[in-house]
Amino acid sequence: MSGKHDKNKAMTLHTPLLNELESGPWPSFFSDLKEYSKKKPVVVQLLNQLEESYENRWNYWIGKVLNAPGYGGGIIARVSEKADKYPGLANFHTVRVIEPPGWVYNTDALRNLADTAERNGAGILQFHGMTGDILLLGFSDEGSLQCVEDLMHDGWDIGGSGAALRTLQCCVGQARCEMACYDTMKVTKHLTDSFIHYLHRPEFVYKFKFKLSGCSNDCANSMVRSDMPIIGTWRGPMQVDQDKVAEFIDAKGMEYLIDNVLTRCPTRCLSVKGKTLQVDNDNCVRCMHCINVMHHALSPGKDRGVTILIGGHRTLKIGDTMASVLVPFMKLETDEDLEKLVEFVERVWEFWNDNGMDHERVGEFIARVGMGTFLKGIGVEPDPRMIRQPRTTSYIKFEELAPPRMDGEGNKMPPVWNREAEAVETA
Amino acid sequence: MSDKPLAPRDQGAPDYTKHLHPLMLKNYGEWVSHDRMRPGVLVHTARGGDKLYTVRAGSPRTMSADTVRKVCDIADKYCQGFLRFTSRSNIEFLCGDKNDLDNLIKAVEKDLGWPLGGTGPSVSNISHTQGWLHCNLPGTDAAGSVKAMMDDLIEEFRNENLPNRVHMATSCCQINCASHGDISVIVQHHHPPRINHNNMQICELPKVVAICPAAAIRPAVINGVETVEVVEEKCMYCGACHGQCPSMEIRDSETDSLSIWVGGKMSAARGAPTFMKLAVWGIPNNPPRWPEVSEAIRRILNAYKATGKPWERIGEWIDRIGWAKFFEMTGFPFTRYHIDDGPEALSNLNRSAMIRL
Ligand code: HEM
Ligand code: SF4
Ligand code: SF4
Ligand code: SF4
Ligand code: SF4
C-alpha cells in the first residue's frame, strides 16, 4: 500500500516548536521519540500532529470504544481528527497493563513489554500511568487486540477502565522499606487476583480504586486518589532503641531533637529525659514523623496491621474528598485475614452498587447518604476513631427515640444514653 | 488476528517475587534502616547485614522501546537485571555490589542521560499525564511542560537543599489525573461548553446530564434534534461534560489558562493529609516551554527555601507564616477568587480574630 491510506506513509518530521524541547538538562521524551521515529515511521506522524497541537494550542484526539474479546475495559481507544493527514493515527490506542505490585521489574519482563509494544504498535511505553498501570501507546484496532493476546500469552493481564475496578497500586513495602507495617505487594496481588472479574468487566455504578501504602507516609498517594486506601499501622508501643537515640542526640544536638522531633509530634507525645526518649504510646497517632527523622532509633511497633479508609477521589463531581477512616485497625497477615478483607470489600461494593447513582463514586455516595447510614448499610459499628469530632448540627432523626406514635403503642424512652445499659437493652 | 485460541483471561497481577532483586527477596520484611549516601543514592540495610544500593534518577516517563532496552542493558550489567519505578516516575536501579556503584552511576548519567536525585528534601520528578500526546480532553501538554519545568528545576532535583520534599504534579484538564501536590499546575476553562447539536445523537443523553456537578445540563430539542442545553449561569466550566461527550467542547485555545495550587500533602507525617490550595491563576498556556509557569514555581520555591523550617512541607510552611506572607513573598495577587465558594467554603474562612498584624 502507499499514499493516503498507508499507515506508514513516509513523512518528514517537521517540529520547529518541539525542537525547543531538546535543549536543557532534563531527559527529553521528544528527543527519544524523534530518534526512534527513524525506525518507526508512524512516530513521525505522531510528533507532527503533536507539533500542530503546540502551534494551535489544540488537541486532535477523540475517544472511542474498543474491547478485547471477553473484556470490557483495558484499551483506551483514540482516533485522530487528522487521520486524513496522518493515516497512521486513524486508530492509535493505549493498552493498560497491570504492573507488578510495587513497580518492580526484571529486565526479561521489561524487554518483553518493549518487544510486544514495538511489534504490534508504535513502541511507546509509559512507566507508569497515574492509575498505577503500565501504558503502551499507539496501536491500531488489530494491533491492540493482538497486543493484548500477546501480553496475556506471556503472562501479563490488562488493566481496568470504565465503571469498574481499576488496576491497584502499592508502595514498595516490605521488599525494601523498613517502615512497612504490612505486606503491600502480597495484599495488592491478592486483591487484584480475587477481584479480577470486576477489574475487567464494568459492572459498578462507577469506578473504584484501591491504593496501598505500608505506613502513613503514604508513598502510594492513596488518600485522595483512591476509594479505599489501605494504610499500614501498629498497635501498642513503637520500638525505641535508646542507644541509637543517644547517638542521634550526640550527632545532631538536643536542640535539633526538640525543634524537629519533639515539637513536631502532632499529639505532643514525645519527651526526653537525659538522652532517652519517652513515648506516650497511647496518644501516638502513628503519623510516622519521628520515625522518619530518627529512623535508626525508632521503628513501628511489633503488633502490626492496617487502617482501612474510604471515599477518596479528586474533584469531579462534588469537589475533592479525602478518604476517612472505616476500619481503625485490622490484622492483615494470614489467609483468613485476607479473606476477611475480600468479604468486607464485597459488602461495601454491594451496598454502594445497590444504592449508588449512576456515576457516583463511593465518596460521593457517602456524602449524599451520610456516613452513619453508610455504616449501617455495610454493617459496621460506628467508632469514634472514624471522626474528627462529633456532629455540630442538632437536627437529628433518632430512630430509637421515634417509635410509632399511633395506635396507642408505647413511647417510652429507651436507655440509650448509658453505654452499659445500651449494651443490655439494644444488643 | 489469527485463528489461534485466545490467550488465558483474568490472570491477575504479575508474580512480584519474580521481579524482585535477589537481595529484596532474601530480605523481604527484614529491612532495618536506610541512609542517603548522596542525593539520588540510597542504601538499605537488612537485619542480617545485607546492603542494597538504590540509584534513583529522573525518567521522562514516556519512552521508546529502544530506551527501555537501554535501561535494561544497564540493569543487566550492574543490577543483576532488576530495577523499579517510583510513584513519581523516577527510576530506581537496584544494586547489590558497592563496587559497581560508580560505573552504574556513570552509565545512568552518561549513557542514558538521566539525572540522579529526587531523594530527601528535593523537588522530585513531576507527576504528569497524557496531554496532547494522547488524551481526548487536554487543554495543554503534559510531558513537554514537565520537560520545560524540570529543566529549570534540575538543581533542586539533584540536591537536597529544601526544607522538606516537594512533590509536584501537572494536569492538562480539571479531571486532574496527576492529582494533588505540594505544587500542582492545572488548566482552567473560562466558558461554558460549546454544543455541537448535530453530533449529539452519538451519546446517551442521560449520562451527560447526570455527570454535571452543577445540574446545568438539561435535555432539549433544538431545530428538531434531540440534544441538550446548558444553563450558562449555573455552569462552572469544569469540563466534566466534555469528558463524557465529545460534542460538548469546553476548550478554547484563546482563553484557557493555567493555575498553580500549593500545599497538597498525602502523607500524615506531622498532621493529617491536606488538599492543595489556589496560589495563582490566569497564567498563559504558552508552549513550547511555558516560561511563566516556571517563573511562578520559582517564586514559590524561593520563598519556601528562604523561610521554611526543616521538615515543613509547603502547606505546613504557609500555615506557619500565614497566607498574607505567602502572597507578599511570591508577589501573586490575592483576589476574591481565592476565597472558596465550594463545599469547603465556610470552613476555609478565618473564623477567629487570630491575625498576624
Ligand atoms: C473517557 C473517559 C476517561 C478515560 C479514557 C480516562 C483515562 C485515564 C488515563 C489514561 C489515566 C492515566 C493518565 C496518565 O497517567 O497519563 C487516567 C487517570 C485518572 N483519571 Fe481518567 N479517564 C477518563 C475519565 C475520567 C473521569 C471522568 C475522571 C473523574 C472522575 C477521571 C479521573 C482520573 C483520575 C483522578 C486519574 C488519576 C489516577 C489515579 O489517581 O488513580 N478520569 N484516566
Ligand atoms: S508508604 Fe511507608 S512503607 Fe510504603 S514505601 Fe513509603 S515509607 Fe515505606
Ligand atoms: S509517630 Fe507521630 S504521633 Fe507518634 S510519636 Fe511519632 S511524631 Fe508523635
Ligand atoms: S488530566 Fe485530563 S487531559 Fe490530562 S490526561 Fe488526565 S483526563 Fe486527559
Ligand atoms: S462544564 Fe461542568 S458545570 Fe458546565 S455544563 Fe459541563 S459539566 Fe456542567
B169: its cell numbers: 504534579
**pLDDT score, position A135:** 98
Residues of chain A with C-beta less than 8 angstroms from the C-beta of B21: 104
Q: Which residues of B touch A153 (CB under 8 A)?
A: 7
- Asked if residue B255 has pLDDT above 80, the reply is yes
Place of cell 493498552: A95
SS3 A61: strand
Position A425 scores a pLDDT of: 40
C-alpha to C-alpha distance for B89 and A127, rounded to whole angstroms: 6
Nearest to A292 by CA among A182, A179, A171, A174: A179
Record: contact A59-B311, CB cut-off 8 A: no
Strand B277-284 relative to strand B257-262, pairing: antiparallel
ipTM of the complex: 0.96
HEC per residue, B110-124: HHHCCCECCCCCCEC
Which residue type does B240 have? A
| Cβ neighbours of A389 (radius 10 Å) | 6
The one-letter code for the residue type at B304 is Y
Rg (CA), chain A: 27
Please tell me the residue having the least CA distance from ligand 5 atom 2: B238
Q: What is the structure's pLDDT at B4?
A: 73
Nearest Cα to Cα of residue B243 among A367, A206, A29: A206
Q: Residues near ligand 4 with C-beta < 6 Å?
A: B 129-131, 135, 137-138, 171-173, 175-177
Mean pLDDT calculated for residue range A26-39: 98
Cα B236–chain centre separation = 24
Q: How far apart are the first and last CA of chain B?
A: 73
What is the rounded CA–CA span in Å between residue A380 and residue A364? 19
Q: How many CB atoms lie within 10 A of CB B351?
A: 8
Touching B: A residues 380-419, CB under 8 Å: none
Cβ distance A59 to B289 less than 8 Å, yes or no, reads no
Taking alpha carbons only, the member of B43, B61, B40, B24 closest to residue B105 is B40
Cell of A74: 483495558
pLDDT tens profile B38-75: 999 999 999 999 999 999 999 999 999 999 999 999 99
Ligand 2 atom with minimal separation from the A179 CA: 3
User: Which residue out of A67, A176, A233 would a mutagenesis test of the B interface target, given it has the greatest number of B Cβ atoms within 10 Å?
Assistant: A176
For a pLDDT cut of 70, what percent of chain B falls above it?
Answer: 98
pLDDT in tens, A322-352: 999 999 999 999 999 999 999 999 999 999 9
Nine cell digits for residue B51 = 546492603
* A100/B207 Cβ within 8 A: no
Instruction: Decide which of B224 and B313 is more confident.
Output: B313
> Is the separation of the CB atoms in B74 and B104 below 8 Å?
yes
Strands B168-171 and B225-230 turn out to be unpaired
Cβ contact B79:B104 at 8 Å? yes
Q: Is the peptide bond before B288 cis (omega within 30 degrees of 0)?
A: yes
Residue B290 pLDDT class (50, 70, 90 cuts): very high
Burial class (CB in 10 A: 0-12, 13-18, 19+), B191: middle
* H or E element in which residue B354 lies: none
What is the least distance, in Å, from the CA of B271 to any CA of chain A?
6
DSSP state of B107: I
Q: At what angle do helices B65-78 and A29-37 cross, to 10 degrees?
A: 110
Q: Decide if B34 contacts B51 (C-beta within 8 A).
A: no
Q: What is the DSSP secondary structure assignment for residue B133, as one 8-state letter?
A: G
Q: Report pLDDT for A59.
A: 96
3-state secondary structure of B35: strand
Q: Which residue of A has its CA nearest to B74?
A: A107
Look-up of cell digits 544500593: B53
Contacts of A40 in chain B (CB under 8 A): 64
What is this structure's pTM? 0.95
Which is nearest to A159 in space by CA: A94, A69, A227, A225?
Answer: A94
Beta-bridged to residue A134, according to DSSP, are A97
- Grid cell in block for residue A194: 480475587
- The predicted pLDDT at position A422 comes to 47
DSSP secondary-structure letter at B108?
A: I
Whole-number Å distance, alpha carbon A262 to ligand 2 midpoint, is 22
pLDDT value for B14: 98
CB B140 within 8 A of CB A57: yes
C-alpha cell at B61: 516517563
The grid coordinates listed for A60 are: 486532535
Residues 6+ apart with CB under 8 A from B97: B53, B78
Beta strands in A222-340 (DSSP E): 228-235, 239-240, 270-273, 276-279, 298-299, 303-310, 324-330
C-alpha cell at A320: 475533592
Angle at A107 between CA A104 and CA A110, to 5 degrees: 80
Site of grid cell 469547603: B344
In this predicted model, what pLDDT tens digit does every residue of B1-21 receive, in sequence order? Answer: 456 789 999 999 999 999 999
Q: Which pLDDT score is estimated for A406? A: 58
CB contact under 8 A, B87 and A196: no
A214 CA: nearest ligand 2 atom: 3
Arithmetic mean of pLDDT, A384-407: 83
What pLDDT digit, counting tens, does each position of B114-167 carry? Answer: 999 999 999 999 999 999 999 999 999 999 999 999 999 999 999 999 999 999
Q: What is the dihedral of CA A362, A366, A372, A373, to 10 degrees?
A: -80
CB B303 within 8 A of CB B155: no
User: What per-residue confidence (pLDDT) applies to A427?
Assistant: 31
Helix (H) or strand (E) holding A370: none
Average pLDDT over residues B298-305: 98
A411: closest CA of chain B, how far (Å): 39
* B135 CB-side CA count, 13 A: 22
Q: Name the nearest CA neighbour of B28 among B9, B48, B8.
A: B48
